[in-house]
Structure formats: C-alpha cells, structure tokens
Amino acid sequence: MAGGGARVGAGGKKKALHDRIIEGNPGKRPLTVLSFDGDEKLIGEAMPEVKGYLTDEQCAANLKNYAETVYNEIWDWLHKRRCAHLIPIQLIENYAQNTARYIQCEQLVSKHGFTTTNSAGNMVAAPYIAVGQNYLKVANSIWQQIYQAVRENKAVDYKGENVSNDIMERLLNVQGG
C-alpha cells in the first residue's frame, strides 16, 4: 500500500549557511539567504478586522486577552515583508489565539505558583503548566507554517564571497600547526 509520498519536514535538516560557506559548499548546491529588500511592488492591502473571539473578555482571574495584540504584531511583521497576502487569515488568528492563551497560562503560573495540592493533599504541578505547554506547542507549529511561507518567498541566491577562497582564512584555520 502506498505511503502517500514525502512528508513536510521529513529528511535531514539543512546545514547553516555559515557552515556551508566554511566547508566550501561541498555539494555545490546554490546558497540562498532571506532577502526582505527588493524591487517588489508594495501590496497595499489593509489589515483585516480582528474577529470577535480574539477580543473576548477572559473569565480567568481578570487576565488580559493578548490575542488582538499578537494578531496585529504578526500582521504588521508579514506586511512589512510583503508576505501578508500569502498567509491564510485563519492561520494568523490561530497563532494569535494560541499565543495569547499561552501567555495567560504563564500569568496564572506566576500568580498561583508552580505547584498545587490534589484532592489527597499531595503536592502536584499546577495544571496551567501543562496547558500552557500545549498552547505553546501548537503556536510554534503554526509559526513554522507561517515562517515557511515567508522563507520560500523571500529566499534569494547568496552572492557573498566564499570564505574558503581566502588564503589567510585557510592558513589561520589549519589544525595542528
């Protein structure tokens, strides 16, 4: 039975650009870097209105809901990089909501402490810790999707000097000498 093909993120991780330059780019693959400057046309789209569920008042301990703030910051970041039109608005909303809930869990841990007692009177970790970790895990997963779209649309060929061609660099990096 077929496995459905390659999975996103499967395989070895890319080496850092610095490491590939130092090693002389042994695979001779094109080197790319992110470029946020260029001659692209500025896309003049307005930020979509923040949905009501991102601004709802929180019932837990009078905590502030930061979802709207996170939403605005991410939209501005994407807009400055001319990538806002590439990301589905639901992805930005989900990221903002999960990040805001993670912040709320951290506030509750700060307010109530790291531990609590269970019904038997035993000391246990505060439930906000695990809940917050789950929100952070989801937020990071969503951020990887957002950043992947930015990375794929902003990568340009590296045009810098190959460090391995510099004779003095090679002399200084000789081992055992």
Q: In the 8-state DSSP scheme, what is residue 30?
A: P
Give CA–CA dist 121/79, Å, rounded: 52
Tell me what pLDDT residue 100 has. Answer: 92
The answer to whether 87 and 146 are in contact (CB under 8 A) is yes
Q: State the pLDDT at residue 158.
A: 66
Residuewise pLDDT in 10s, the chain (177 residues): 566 677 766 777 777 766 777 777 777 777 776 665 654 555 556 777 777 766 666 666 577 888 899 999 999 999 888 888 889 999 999 999 999 999 999 988 988 888 888 889 899 988 899 999 999 999 999 999 999 888 888 777 667 665 555 656 666 666 655
Give the pLDDT score at 39.
45
Cβ neighbours for 23, distance < 8 A, ≥ 6 positions apart: 164
> What's the pLDDT score for residue 145?
93
Q: Are strands 123-125 and 32-34 parallel, antiparallel or unpaired?
A: unpaired
CA dist., res. 130 & res. 106, Å (int) = 10
- The answer to whether 98 touches 143, Cβ cutoff 8 Å, is no
pLDDT at residue 29, rounded to an integer: 76
SS3 23: coil
Residue-wise pLDDT tens digits, 29-66: 777 766 656 545 555 567 777 777 666 666 665 778 88
- Helix and strand numbers, DSSP H then E, in the chain: 5, 4
- Cα atoms found within 13 Å of the Cα of residue 164, Cβ hemisphere only: 9
